[in-house]
Amino acid sequence: MPSTHLSLHYHLVFSTKDRMPLITKDWRDYLHAYLGGITRKLKGVPLAIGGTEDHVHLLIGLRATHRLDYVLRDLKSGSSLWAHETVGKRSFDWQPGYGGVTVSPTELETVKRYILNQEQHHKRQSFQEEYIEFLRLSGIEYDQRYVW
């Protein structure tokens, strides 16, 4: 085959350190836009970014050459530095871990809607409940002692 054809889409979730409610509405959209900019700078494609005061969800397309752990490192460190310098959030940090699953092309629109409606979703379900459900539905094994 003379060329490569890929569809590598990831639903990523990570939270603020200790799940503190630090991402207030007055700068949340800017943070999401900045995360999209980091994704584009890394040659990825941001399809949807959303979240609430204590976590974010990203639906991004990546290349085969991307290392997911490096992408997450760059997203977290870059946005944390931006929050410190631009927004003045000196105490802003992300948790060290993250959740991530691949997304089938047939499910992209469903996941995109889910991510963009995070505020409404969290009127019914806490982040902790949502994340455990995310792990369970994805078939990811976990030890409750190390999730939080």
Q: Please tell me what DSSP assigns to residue 83.
A: I
pLDDT at residue 1 greater than cutoff 80 = no
Q: What domains appear along the chain, each with residue ranges and CATH number?
A: 9-141 (3.30.70.1290)
Give the mean pLDDT of 44-73. 97
Confidence of residue 11 (pLDDT cuts 50, 70, 90): very high
Q: Could you report the per-residue pLDDT of 61-100, keeping only the tens digit for each?
A: 999 999 999 999 999 999 999 999 998 988 899 999 999 9
Confidence of residue 5 (pLDDT cuts 50, 70, 90): confident
Q: How many CB atoms lie within 10 A of CB 41?
A: 10
pTM metric for this prediction: 0.92
Q: How many CB atoms lie within 10 A of CB 14?
A: 20
How far CA 13 is from CA of 3, 6, 85, in Å, comes to 32, 22, 23
Q: How far apart are CA 68 and CA 73, in angstroms?
A: 9
* Residue of 42, 12, 23 lying closest to 93 (CA atoms): 23
Q: Judge whether 130 and 121 are in contact, CB under 8 Å.
A: yes
Higher pLDDT, 9 or 6: 9
